[in-house]
């Protein structure tokens, strides 16, 4: 006959499950369109030269983030799915907060004067399908997984 675990062990087991479940719910709730907005404002904050004032004028909290230049959102989830600011001729660096755009599928930062390194947080963007950093002066090499 199988040994039946004691009620005490069973309760502990159930408590552990509840704990894990609440952690999962909490972490699922920690990212939202506000996270996306903060990540984009961080990127804006790292732009040191924006001669055409495209971001300076447009990426403003007085308007909805999904309406900003170069931003595409998923209508249903209301999360940023594409960031394409190709060719805006920006100078600056890329902040690690960019990796917080957890629903991002398309990232096009091509034809800029971005320098420095590509932050490691970018590997956290599990939804990313395409990335374009051509014609920047970034140091880090992307792993082969991004070239397909």
Element (H, E) at 33: helix 33-45
If the CB atoms of residues 21 and 98 are measured against ligand NAG, the closer one turns out to be 98
| Cα distance between residue 36 and residue 73, in whole Å | 10
Stretch near ligand NAG under the rule CB under 6 A, chosen from 17-25, 60-68, 72-80, 137-145: 60-68
Rule CB under 6 A: say whether 56 interacts with ligand NAG. Answer: no
Q: Name the segment binding ligand NAG (CB under 6 A); options: 1-9, 16-24, 34-42, 61-69.
A: 61-69
C-alpha R_g of the chain: 21
Give 24 or 51: the residue with its C-beta nearer to ligand NAG.
51
Beta carbons of 83 and 101 less than 8 angstroms apart: yes
Of the residues 135, 137, 140, 142, which one makes contact with ligand NAG according to CB under 6 A: 135
Is residue 132 part of the contact set for ligand NAG (CB under 6 A)? yes
- CB count within 10 Å of CB 128 equals 19
Q: Should residue 72 be labelled a site residue for ligand NAG when binding is judged by CB under 6 A?
A: no
| 96, 105, 138, 146: which one binds ligand NAG (CB under 6 A) | 96
Which runs of consecutive H residues, i.e. helices, occur in 46-109?
54-58
Q: Tell me the CA distances in angstroms from 112 to 19, 83, 103, 143, one per residue in order.
A: 46, 14, 23, 21
Q: Are 105 and 132 in contact (CB under 8 A)?
A: no
Q: Is 69 in the site for ligand NAG (CB under 6 A)?
A: no
Q: Which residues bind ligand NAG (CB under 6 A)?
A: 49, 51, 63-64, 67, 84, 86-87, 89, 91, 96, 99, 106, 108, 110-111, 113, 120-121, 124, 130, 132, 135
């Amino acid at each position: 006959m199988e040994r039946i675990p004691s009620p005490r062990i069973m309760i502990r087991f159930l408590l552990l499950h509840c704990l894990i479940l609440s952690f999962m719910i909490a972490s699922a709730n920690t990212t939202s369109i506000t996270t996306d907005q903060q990540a984009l404002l961080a990127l804006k904050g790292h732009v040191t030269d924006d001669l055409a004032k495209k971001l300076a004028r447009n990426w403003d909290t007085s308007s909805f983030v999904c309406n900003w230049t170069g931003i595409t959102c998923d209508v249903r989830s209301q999360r940023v799915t594409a960031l394409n600011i190709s060719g805006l001729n920006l100078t600056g660096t890329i902040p690690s907060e960019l990796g917080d755009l957890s629903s991002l599928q398309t990232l096009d930062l091509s034809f800029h004067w971005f320098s420095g390194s590509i932050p490691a947080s970018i590997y956290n963007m599990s939804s990313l399908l395409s990335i374009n950093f051509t014609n920047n002066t970034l140091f880090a090499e992307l792993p082969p997984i991004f070239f397909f």
